[in-house]
Chain A
């Protein structure tokens, strides 16, 4: 089996699994899986900004929030969900572009703090502007959309609806990172000065990295409104941005499947650890620390490391036989 075949077969097999797994499962499991798909989309966006373009952002949850509130307000006003979705992604693209401007001036930890402050500001606005956002009580009762007479009201149907959005997002993401833009993003991450000297418009690429990444966040937020059917400012606080950052880094930043794996770990692991009751967050945090210490490139990096430990044995043998010849 060649690498190319794996590259085509793996997504197909994964997709088949995603279609089959929820069949016959209870509502709760379907809900958790839907929320995993949603967070994967948000994490994909951050993976573009952070993993590919190297611009740290601690504001992804705020874009989910902006997207969720825009979608909620529009659907509650009677517009179709698609209108809300497009508006959410458009608005987040615009705001992400604005948030990218500080990144032109400052880097690394400073950028982390600007985006962190932005997240807190968005949270405060959502909490305090009661006339628009309902304040602490949030917004309730967003309808689930229906397409051409097919309703997505039931959990399983909604899951497939989100799965379709997930596949679209993943395809767009794949296309972006393999396009000339994707290479420009990586160039920006590896060495901005050299990228610029080679003719990459680093200014535009930096802004785009933020804008596109944020638009993915807005798209995920647009799913959250009809999924949970209740949104409140607390769902988009700083901890949730950190959670999405965790997804990207735990999975493997700058790798296509990284954020999906990371989101699975961050969303599903607490469910598996639930039997430990009060201790699950502790175990979870400890596992993250251990993972970061042993494999800062995340789980995929850890997998590659282990794989290489098994594989190069044959190479070592070759070296030894060479040595024996001498």
Chain B
């Protein structure tokens, strides 16, 4: 039983980080029909911003991390939108899918070539101590990750539903034409979405990288998990991506322990196929009207 609780808690912890990436993914899709196949690399890259700032430029970690978030917002948010998404907006989904796949390769190769092909140790924000609660031992970073990730998503939700800008962003996502008629600057709202995605990816990166090492190939699994979480939860809902992320984190942990470590990766895929066939709008999603 104590083992079970441990697995659940650490599953929720990684799951909440997956959820960060998945929420960003969902936001981009809603605002601009961008399926970002480079989302995994977007989570991989900010860790290397931190490493460049600390190791190469000698900045302290507490300064490097906020700077890395800012860099991510500028490069993975604004620049990505300006250089790649904006010119392709009118061409439809598939060319953009190809372009983001290529962008993923580009980011991966650049990190590999200009930084290092080897896994790099990454500073952890929290002490690696383990708390004893009953018989279960729960590590402090797990709890801290869970709190920070959930807090970020909660704050985002508050921003989206509680402020004028946030509601304009939601309006843009739901119906850009009507939003524009009502005086919403939809271009600016779409840009905000990209900036937020950059920030979410950077936070996810800083939280998840100490668990593994910082490596150019980290994005491969992360990106896939973010897609699956977004779809399983519901593509048009932030709550959905959150639930999807948590669910995947827990399933991943439990299946590794109780099911089969060989087919551990298969379980999320099967879940994905079943969900898409049975409930294509996702667990929490609402059905979208079909356009002819």
Contact surface of A with B, Cβ cutoff 8 Å: 50, 56, 102, 105-106, 108-110, 112-114, 116-118, 120-121, 124, 127-128, 191, 193, 242, 245-246, 249-250, 253, 278-279, 281-282, 284-286, 288-289, 292-293, 296
Contacts and interface: CB of A to CB of B under 8 A. Distances in A.
A285 B105 contact: yes
Contact of B270 (A56, A112, A121, A293): A121
A113 B93 contact: no
Contacts of B99: 288-289, 292-293
B140 to A, nearest CB: 34
A293 B98 CA distance: 10
Q: How large is the interface on B (under 10, 10 to 19, 20 to 34, 35 or more residues)?
A: 35 or more
B35 A112 contact: yes
Contacts of B110: 282
B106 A289 contact: yes
Secondary structure class of chain B's binding surface, majority of residues? helix
Given A110-B280, A117-B272, A278-B112, 17 more contacts: A50-B94, A102-B276, A110-B231, A113-B272, A113-B276, A114-B272, A114-B276, A120-B265, A249-B95, A249-B98, A282-B106, A282-B109, A285-B102, A285-B103, A289-B99, A292-B96, A292-B98
A285 B106 contact: yes
Interface stretch (B83-91, B162-170, B207-215): B83-91
A211 B112 CA distance: 39
6 contacts: A106-B280, A114-B276, A281-B105, A286-B106, A292-B91, A292-B102
Nearest to B91: A296
B227 interface: yes
Interface of B: 29, 35, 83-84, 87-88, 91-99, 101-103, 105-106, 109-110, 112-113, 224, 227-228, 231, 235, 262-263, 265-266, 269-270, 272-273, 276-277, 280, 292
Contacts of A109: 29, 35, 93, 235
A282 B113 contact: yes
Contacts of B35: 109, 112
B230 to A, nearest CB: 9
A246 B93 contact: no
Contact of A289 (B84, B272, B273): B84
Nearest to B117: A278
Among B29, B84, B101, the one with the most A-chain Cβ atoms within 10 Å of its Cβ is B101
Nearest to A281: B109
Nearest to A286: B106
Given A117-B269, A124-B266, A249-B98, A293 B88 contact: yes
A117 B91 CA distance: 26
A249 B101 CA distance: 12
Nearest to B107: A285
Contacts of B265: 120, 124
B292 A110 contact: no
Contacts of A110: 231, 276, 280
A278 B113 contact: yes
Contacts of A112: 35, 97
B98 A246 contact: yes
A311 to B, nearest CB: 23
Contacts of A118: 269, 273
Nearest to B280: A106
A78 to B, nearest CB: 30
A83 B110 CA distance: 45
B269 A279 contact: no
Nearest to B97: A112
Contact of B273 (A102, A286, A288): A102
A120 B224 contact: yes
A124 B263 contact: yes
Closest 8 CB pairs of A and B: A296-B95, A285-B106, A296-B91, A288-B102, A117-B269, A292-B99, A285-B105, A285-B102
Contacts of B97: 112
A246 B224 contact: no
A191 to B, nearest CB: 7
B266 A191 contact: no
B292 A191 contact: yes
Contacts of A242: 101
Contacts of B276: 102, 105-106, 110, 113-114
A235 to B, nearest CB: 16
Contacts of A285: 102-103, 105-106, 109
A253 B272 CA distance: 28
Contacts of A113: 227-228, 231, 272, 276
Nearest to B113: A278
Contacts of B277: 102, 105-106, 114
Nearest to A54: B94
Contacts of A286: 102, 106
